[in-house]
């Protein structure tokens, strides 16, 4: 799963990237390229499953965080390759600074509007180029052949009209077929937004109120807001686990860091969750869209397993931990056998039987 961090100068976006990845501040080369950090998704169920199986390897699900240069969105001359890379992320994380109470929040709202405007300009330019290619093609075709391209042109014209009114593609009323058609374009306003409001240390205790107030001014479609102090979180990220826990307690901060919460909110925003596999070789967490089936889960593990799917043995994580082993769970009659259409639930422990 890929998330792209964007922001204006002095927003704290690179400080946030450092807090998330534990890396040094990106940049300094002057080149228009993103810094990339890979972060494992915190999930103690994986460790507990590995302990039960005495697994040799533990593998968490991962998120790749891209820290895009300011010029990637704050410049109309941004390279097409950079915009295309941003459009291929699963979601964008705009970082806006909100220091100094109410005035800071007003500034943050303006900064978010600026960022969204730049994304809109990029989409309008891309759509205009596509329309410029389609229109002469339609004129050169016989009337009976024009249907598909005319439908595409009509869709692009409607999308353009709403973009010009300030409605991003994520919030436009489109059919599933229309969204699928637009997915072939590298359009930025299709992406969900995980908005990070970067607040000062003095406002950390009011983070929930800041989130509520900021979110109240937004169209909620495909947008989630999280408030945190990026500088404080970067300092905590530099500590080891015990020191970080003690530091958070001293400051009266909640045990769940905003950084970990960002991961959870990203999962919720994108509509994904985790299923688990376990054994002596490896215990592993896998990401799957909510509503995904046992066959989809098999495909996440390996295409051969999906192709040769026979059935899946499924255990609820809590029941497996209570039983202590798959053998005991089977003995108790609580290890379920499911077919390919079974809808996987968060935390399901799955073993797929297959034949190729």
In the prediction, which pLDDT does 79 show?
62
In the prediction, which pLDDT does 77 show?
53
pLDDT of 76 strictly over 70: no
Spatial distance between the Cα atoms of 194 and 261, rounded to a whole number of angstroms? 11
In the prediction, which pLDDT does 73 show?
73
In the prediction, which pLDDT does 350 show?
98
- Model-level pTM? 0.88
Could you give all domains of the chain from N- to C-terminal order, each with its CATH number?
291-354 (3.10.20.30)
Average pLDDT, integer, range 352-356:
94
In the prediction, which pLDDT does 75 show?
57
Within 2-151, strands assigned E span: 2-7, 35-40, 57-59, 62-67, 91-97
| Range of weakest confidence among 144-158, 162-176, 251-265 | 251-265
For residue 269, the tally of other CB atoms under 10 A from its CB is 18
Average pLDDT, integer, range 107-136:
93
> Which 3 state secondary structure label does DSSP give 296?
helix
pLDDT per residue over 28-57, tens digit each? 444 568 899 999 998 999 999 999 999 999
- pLDDT-derived band at 25 (thresholds 50, 70, 90) equals very low
Q: Give backbone dihedrals phi and psi of 315, rounded to 5 degrees, phi first.
A: -125, 140
What percentage of the chain's residues is helix, strand, coil (to nearest 5)?
50, 20, 30
pLDDT per residue over 273-297, tens digit each? 999 999 999 999 999 999 999 999 9
pLDDT per residue over 221-267, tens digit each? 799 999 999 999 888 888 888 898 888 888 777 777 877 889 999 99
Reference 119, options 159, 156, 155, 86; nearest CA is 86
In the prediction, which pLDDT does 64 show?
94
């Amino acid at each position: 799963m890929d998330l792209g961090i964007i922001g204006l100068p002095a927003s704290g976006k690179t400080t946030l990237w450092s807090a998330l990845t534990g890396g040094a501040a990106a940049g300094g080369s002057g080149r228009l390229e993103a810094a990339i950090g890979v972060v494992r998704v915190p999930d103690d169920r994986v460790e507990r499953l590995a302990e039960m199986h005495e697994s040799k390897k533990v593998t968490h699900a991962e998120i790749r965080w891209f820290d895009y240069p300011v010029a990637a969105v704050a410049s109309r001359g941004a390279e097409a390759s950079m915009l295309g890379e941003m459009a291929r992320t699963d979601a964008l994380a705009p970082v806006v600074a909100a220091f100094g109470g109410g005035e800071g929040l007003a500034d943050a709202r303006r900064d978010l509007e600026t960022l969204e405007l730049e994304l809109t300009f990029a989409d309008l330019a891309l759509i205009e180029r596509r329309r410029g290619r389609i229109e002469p093609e339609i004129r050169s075709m016989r009337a009976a052949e024009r249907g598909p391209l005319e439908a595409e042109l009509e869709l692009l014209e409607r999308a353009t009209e709403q973009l010009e009114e300030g409605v991003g593609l994520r919030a436009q009323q489109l059919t599933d077929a229309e969204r699928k058609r637009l997915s072939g374009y590298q359009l930025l306003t299709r992406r969900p937004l995980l908005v990070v409001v970067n607040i000062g240390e003095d406002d950390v205790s009011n983070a929930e109120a800041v989130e509520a107030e900021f979110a109240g001014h937004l169209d909620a479609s495909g947008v989630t807001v999280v408030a945190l102090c990026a500088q404080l979180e970067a300092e905590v990220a530099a500590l080891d686990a015990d020191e970080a826990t003690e530091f958070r307690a001293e400051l009266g901060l909640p045990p769940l860091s905003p950084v970990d919460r960002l991961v959870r909110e990203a999962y919720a925003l994108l509509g994904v969750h985790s299923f688990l596999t376990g054994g002596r070789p490896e215990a592993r967490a896998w990401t799957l869209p909510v509503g995904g089936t046992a066959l989809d889960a098999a495909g996440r593990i390996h295409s051969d397993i999906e192709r040769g799917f026979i059935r899946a043995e499924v255990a609820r994580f809590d029941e497996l931990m209570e039983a202590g082993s798959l053998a005991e769970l089977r003995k108790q009659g609580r290890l379920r056998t499911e077919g390919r259409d079974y809808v996987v639930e968060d935390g399901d422990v799955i073993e797929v039987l297959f034949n190729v």
